[in-house]
Structure 1
Amino acid sequence: MPRSQNKTVQTTQSVDSFLSGVSPSKKAGEARVLDALFRKVTGFEPVMWGPSIIGYGRYQYRYASGREGDFLATGFAPRKAAHSIYIMPGYADFGGILSRLGKHKLGKSCLYVNKLSDIDLDVLSELILAGLEDLGSHWPVEPI
């Protein structure tokens, strides 16, 4: 089966240009903090995925159905209401880490954080690393 066409794909948009356009300024500052944290934890340079997701690393998947594709290994999107933080693809139960993170909401493969002062960034680092390790046990994770 041919590779699927994911809605969100890697782009050539500059991460720095994107971060420079984030508003309001407080959200932009927090996005810069997240970028530095993701770079440090992952060791990967960021790449834009779609118009607003900053991704670190990627993985290629192939399901039993034959569907296959590429997607970001981890990353975030600085949204107006909350930062969306992507821990892909959500196989593991990270309840123990999340219980220490601070104020957040959960989605299927992401969590939502209104402001960074609501969470413990050291715990977020631990969560990012745990997510990458779990993802790597299912699919090889590589830099872009």
Structure 2
Amino acid sequence: MYKLKTLETDHSVLEFIESVDSLKKREDAYRLLEIFTETTGYEAKMWGPSIIGFGSYHYKYASGHEGDAPLVGFSPRKAKISLYFSLESEERACLLAKLGKHTTGKACVYINKVADIDVEVLKTLIQETVLFLQKTYPDPS
């Protein structure tokens, strides 16, 4: 059976950010921490060894696979900064077209630095993702 690797931990977000080698990436990580915290209203938590996540949701797929994941998050990786969003593809595409300099992967958006993107568009991506996931996977309690 598949075992989920990215679980919420009690590791310190600030210690993780301080461990980032590049001073510029550390500065951007602190800026993103501020943006995501302010926009979501959630406290930052570490998910796995390197993802800073905000809020959480429980998903269950038709296949039976289920787990917990952060609503949104980011990771200051060595090469680029990864931003984690989940939006319907058409809506996401429209917002990403306005974001600024970035590339996309299957489940994330990669940026070199915060200065390359429009922070207001980033905030909208964050807000829309949180709303989408909370609607798609409502809290059963």
Compute the TM-score of the two structures, normalised by the length of structure 1.
0.90
1:22-101 equivalences in 2 (<5 Å):
22-88=20-86, 90-93=87-90, 94-101=92-99
Q: Contact between 1:92 and 1:134, CA under 8 Å: does it hold in 2?
A: no
Where structure 1 has 5 or more consecutive residues not aligned to the other structure, the ranges are none
Cα distance between partner residues in 1 of 2:103 and 2:65: 30
Moved more, 34-43 or 6-15: 6-15
Compute the TM-score of the two structures, normalised by the length of structure 2.
0.91
Q: 1:132 aligns to what?
A: 130
Query: How many residues align structurally?
Result: 138
Identity of aligned residues (%): 44
Higher strand share: 1
Query: In the alignment, residue 3 of structure 2 is paired with which amino acid?
Result: Q
Q: 2:19 aligns to what?
A: 21
Query: In the alignment, residue 52 of structure 1 is paired with which amino acid?
Result: S
For residue 128 of structure 1, report the CA deviation from its aligned partner.
0.8
Q: Contact between 1:61 and 1:139, CA under 8 Å: does it hold in 2?
A: yes
For residue 92 of structure 1, report the CA deviation from its aligned partner.
3.6
Query: In the alignment, residue 108 of structure 2 is paired with which amino acid?
Result: C
Higher helix share: 2
Q: 2:10 aligns to what?
A: 12
